[in-house]
Chains A and B, each alone.
Chain A
Amino acid sequence: MRVLAVLFAAVCLMSSTGARADVSAVLVEDLVDGNVIPAYRAFESKTAALSQAVDAACAQDALATETVKAVFAEAWIAWAGARHVVKGPVTYFDRQFRIEFWPDGRNRIERALNDLRVAGGEPEIAAAVVGVQGFPALERLIYEGEGANDCFIARPIAANLHGMAAEILIEWTEGDSPFRKALVSPGGGAGVYFSYSESLTALMTGAVASLEGILRLRLKRPLGEESGIVRPERAEAWRSGLSMDLIRADLATVADFYHGGAEEGEAPRGLDAALRDSGETDLADLMTKAFRVTRDTADKIDRPLREAVVDPALRPVLEELVTQVSALKALIIQKVGPALGIAGGFNALDGD
């Protein structure tokens, strides 16, 4: 716990130099080209493999094969590697929710799948209700479904996931007005952002939202922190046991985003480089350390969250993870953003 105390003390005590660097084109390019687009490329390729694997298994009158399970895991983890991007093409046509509608407090997914089974015939998944289109629906078919009998639903879900991934990638990178251009050439044709500061704000909003999602949805709900009632089946992806792998992927991609895709030992890029360039070396060192410490803590949880939350030995580790992710989030909002010249308003960020 000592490390946490140090991180929190750092949040509270570090004095910002007050030197606000202008947000540079290079910074935004680092984040987009070093992290966001590679993340979508991986998502596209892993969902292509998923669709092929489901097709191949179904051709053999099977669905829940080891190959399908392995490729399914890789595809969902690749999605976790990209879901810190909350602006742009992923918001078109409700894609975020279609890819992963969760949590599903009203059990919409189960009901929608049963409706498809009763209706029979290959469904037009892209036009179906939102809950039935994504990873949680496919997970049910693979892990607790009716095997090859569900292929007529599983095949189009997998194909549709790949279709959405491919469309997102194309809309970011190709055509006359790719979304990449809106961010790296603000004030230009796409017209969504007017300055590099706005581009950076849009990107950092996603990183913060991702950490918030880890805290609020992925950890605290199953932990039942306030109520004291542990709810293992509120863990994300509990059927496939991927919950901790998804959290690790979230953390990895936010860390990669911070570093602009730079590997350890490479020259600093991204937010890390921008902080160092503006003289905030201590903050950059602290951030690098905070990511490493938090990811190390996540690595200590060596089983799915559904099991970890009921293991008294792992409880302190999970609580440590909650504290560290909270500290990371606070550092980004209270220190990194202001140091780079972006700080939201009292009301503008309020959402009411």
Chain B
Amino acid sequence: MRDAVPSRRQVLAALASLPALSALPALAASRPAVVTTAKLAAGGFAIVGLDADGRASFVEPLPDRGHGVVPRPGGDDVAVIARRPGRFGYVVAAETGAVRAELDLPDTRHYYGHAAYSADGRLLYTTENAFDEDRGVLGVWDATAGYARVGEVDSAGIGPHEVRRAADDGSLWVANGGILTHPDSGRIKLNLPTMEPTLARVAPGGTEAERVLVLPAELHKLSMRHVATHRETVAVAMQYEGPESDIVPLVAVTTTEGGVPRLLDLPDILAMRSRQYTGDVAFDPTGAVVGAGLPRGGFFAFWSVQDGRFLGSVEAPDGCAIATGRGAGGFVISTGTGGRIGQVTARPAGVDVAWTAVAQVAAFDNHLMAAS
């Protein structure tokens, strides 16, 4: 069913109805290093800023569960988008989490969960379902005009989930999952036999998406959902919609030129634990290592980009969110169960993690981003 569009007044009411935030421990005043969404220990959902030590620098309520968070380059805005098929999108202050703008979504669209800014920070792109037309779009919003909606770009596929901007040339990369849903049917998948996932690219300043990667027919049930880029390398994290007994690759690495993808494998025992499902993907700062969160398997996995070699895994109950960390092999990860943040170092010699518990948080959500 379509969610009602929460008005600003409803949001304020939702905030007021939440357990008093003043009851939380005093928050550190430091600028957040990481922004993410979460379910709070005190109840309700929030956007959360964390400092480099994993302490909460802000905790601001959301009317419902959030999903993608994305910082505005060169600015101090962070956009946060509702979990699919939700209809709220906010822009908050990176320092405090205070709401600065609310995205006014057309009735014939709902969000698919993620957003990306243009390189100059002027435009925000949100993945959306044009459900009455059975197609996916990127909604385009002008940050310099109070986030007015200024257009749409066809996503060149059904079910665009994540959109990410490539740091080098500013192109946008869209993972089209290929799965048709309709708000009337919630998340029930309506077209698995005919699904066609695609990875598409919008050139810098471009007004249309072109398909860069379409998997071979025998892999057409690998739904491409998340994407990360490092210079000319692109990683795609996938979810398999075929029989549970199949062992399939879940992460593909390709280039911005759209070369033949390298499919990354897991050791068999982890492949079976994975339930054929990845939830997030990121590169380390050097681009030499790619990592993915596998919440159904309860672990994160890391591979060498150069040769596709599996480097190791980190056990993490319900862990999904992964982002670029500090230093070679560095990643930041979080867990759904237990509300922990992990600092990972993944190198050819092995994978290490150091965990910090965040008291205010009951469960970290699927994604986190380094605040700019």
- Please give the residue numbers on chain A whose beta carbons come within 8 Å of chain B beta carbons, in ascending order: 87-88, 91-92, 94, 97-98, 101, 103, 105-106, 130, 182, 190-192, 194, 202, 212-213, 216-217, 220-221, 225-226, 345-348, 350-352
Asked if B49 lies at the interface with its beta carbon under 8 angstroms from chain A, I say no
- CB of B245 within 8 A of CB of A217, answer no
Asked if B372 lies at the interface with its beta carbon under 8 angstroms from chain A, I say no
Min Cβ gap A97→B in Å is 5
Q: State the majority secondary structure of interface residues on A.
A: loop
What is the 8 Å Cβ interface bit string for chain B, positions 165-189, against chain A (1 contact, 0 not)?
0000000000000000010111110
- CB of B190 within 8 A of CB of A103, answer yes
What is the 8 Å Cβ interface bit string for chain B, positions 73-117, against chain A (1 contact, 0 not)?
000000000011000000000000000000000000000010000
A-facing residues in B115-173 (Cβ within 8 Å): 134, 161
- CB of A97 within 8 A of CB of B193, answer yes
Q: 22 A–B contact pairs at CB < 8 A?
A: A88-B243, A88-B244, A91-B243, A103-B185, A103-B190, A105-B134, A105-B182, A191-B272, A192-B245, A212-B188, A217-B184, A345-B295, A345-B317, A345-B363, A346-B363, A347-B319, A347-B321, A348-B295, A350-B279, A350-B295, A352-B83, A352-B366
Residues of A within 8 A of B187 (CB): 351
A-facing residues in B39-65 (Cβ within 8 Å): 39
A-facing residues in B313-334 (Cβ within 8 Å): 317-321
- CB of B1 within 8 A of CB of A220, answer yes
Contacts A346-B365, A348-B296; A94 near B193 (Cβ below 8 A)? yes
Q: How far is the CA of A348 from the CA of B1 in the complex (A)?
A: 22
> Which of B184, B185, B186, B245 gathers the greatest number of chain A CB atoms within 10 Å?
B184
Residue of B at shortest CB range from A345? B318
Min Cβ gap A349→B in Å is 8
A-B interface pairs (CB < 8 A), number: 95
Residues of B within 8 A of A103 (CB): 185, 190
Min Cβ gap A248→B in Å is 20
- CB of B1 within 8 A of CB of A347, answer no
Contacts A221-B184, A221-B185; A91 near B83 (Cβ below 8 A)? no
Q: How far is the CA of A202 from the CA of B245 in the complex (A)?
A: 13
Asked if B337 lies at the interface with its beta carbon under 8 angstroms from chain A, I say yes
Q: How far is the CA of A178 from the CA of B67 in the complex (A)?
A: 40
Contacts A106-B134, A191-B272, A346-B336; A213 near B188 (Cβ below 8 A)? yes
Q: How far is the CA of A216 from the CA of B161 in the complex (A)?
A: 22
Asked if B29 lies at the interface with its beta carbon under 8 angstroms from chain A, I say no
Residues of A within 8 A of B286 (CB): none
- CB of B188 within 8 A of CB of A216, answer yes
Q: How far is the CA of A88 from the CA of B246 in the complex (A)?
A: 11
Contacts A345-B336, A345-B337; A352 near B188 (Cβ below 8 A)? no
Residue of B at shortest CB range from A227? B2
Min Cβ gap A129→B in Å is 8
Min Cβ gap B292→A in Å is 13
Q: Which of A130, A190, A346 contacts B245 (CB 8 A)?
A: A190
Residues of A within 8 A of B296 (CB): 348
In the A-B complex, the 6 residue pairs with the smallest Cβ-Cβ separation, listed nearest first, are: A345-B318, A346-B336, A347-B320, A347-B295, A346-B363, A347-B336
Contacts A191-B245, A352-B84; A347 near B188 (Cβ below 8 A)? no
> Which of A97, A190, A202 gathers the greatest number of chain B CB atoms within 10 Å?
A97
Q: How far is the CA of A91 from the CA of B279 in the complex (A)?
A: 22
Residues of B within 8 A of A226 (CB): 1-2, 184
Q: How far is the CA of A270 from the CA of B317 in the complex (A)?
A: 28
> Which of A98, A105, A202, A226 gathers the greatest number of chain B CB atoms within 10 Å?
A105
- CB of A348 within 8 A of CB of B84, answer no
Asked if B197 lies at the interface with its beta carbon under 8 angstroms from chain A, I say no
- CB of B192 within 8 A of CB of A216, answer no
- CB of B244 within 8 A of CB of A192, answer yes
Residues of A within 8 A of B242 (CB): 91
Q: How far is the CA of A128 from the CA of B160 in the complex (A)?
A: 28
- CB of B186 within 8 A of CB of A212, answer yes
- CB of A216 within 8 A of CB of B279, answer no
Q: How far is the CA of A192 from the CA of B272 in the complex (A)?
A: 7
Contacts A348-B298, A352-B113; A216 near B244 (Cβ below 8 A)? no
Min Cβ gap B315→A in Å is 13
Residues of A within 8 A of B2 (CB): 226
Q: How far is the CA of A98 from the CA of B193 in the complex (A)?
A: 9
What is the 8 Å Cβ interface bit string for chain B, positions 330-372, against chain A (1 contact, 0 not)?
0000001100000000000000000000000001111000000
- CB of B336 within 8 A of CB of A348, answer yes
Q: How far is the CA of A221 from the CA of B181 in the complex (A)?
A: 13
Residue of B at shortest CB range from A350? B366
Min Cβ gap A279→B in Å is 25
Min Cβ gap A158→B in Å is 20
Known: A345-B336, A347-B293. 4 other contacts (CB 8 A): A192-B244, A194-B272, A213-B188, A346-B336
Q: How far is the CA of A221 from the CA of B1 in the complex (A)?
A: 9
